[in-house]
Amino acid sequence: MSVKMTIHQALCEMKLYDKKIKKAFSDSYIYANRNNNDKIKGKPIKDIETAIKASYSSVVDLLENKKRIKEAVALSNANSSIVVGGVTYTVVGAIERKNQAETEGQFIYVLKGQFQKEYAELTAENSRLPEKTQNYLQTILGNDKNNWKVEDIQKFSSEYEKNNKYELVDPLDLLKTIESLENNLDDFLNNVDYALSTHNAQTLVEVELIGS
Give the three-state DSSP class for 54.
helix
Query: CA-based angle 208:90:201, to the nearest 5?
Result: 55
Give the three-state DSSP class for 144.
coil
* Domain edges within the chain: 2-95+203-208, 101-187
Specify which residues 89 forms β-bridges with.
82
Distances (CA, A) of 113 to 108, 110, 124, 126, 136: 9, 5, 17, 20, 33
Distances (CA, A) of 171 to 140, 154, 174, 175, 200: 36, 32, 8, 11, 42
Tens of pLDDT, residue by residue over 85-128, are 899 999 999 999 999 999 999 999 999 999 999 999 999 999 99
User: Residue 83's closest CA among 195, 198, 203, 200?
Assistant: 195
Q: Compute the CA torsion angle 27, 29, 35, 40 (nearest 10 deg).
A: 20
Amino acid present at 135: N
Half-sphere exposure (Cβ direction) of 62: Cα atoms closer than 13 Å: 19
Decide if pLDDT at 208 tops 90: yes
Tens of pLDDT, residue by residue over 32-85, are 999 989 999 999 999 999 999 999 999 999 999 999 999 999 999 999 999 998
The span from the CA of 202 to the CA of 183, in Å, is 29
Q: Average model confidence (pLDDT) for the chain?
A: 93
Average pLDDT estimate for 142-153: 75
Report the greatest alpha carbon distance in the chain: 123
> Is pTM beyond 0.85 here?
no
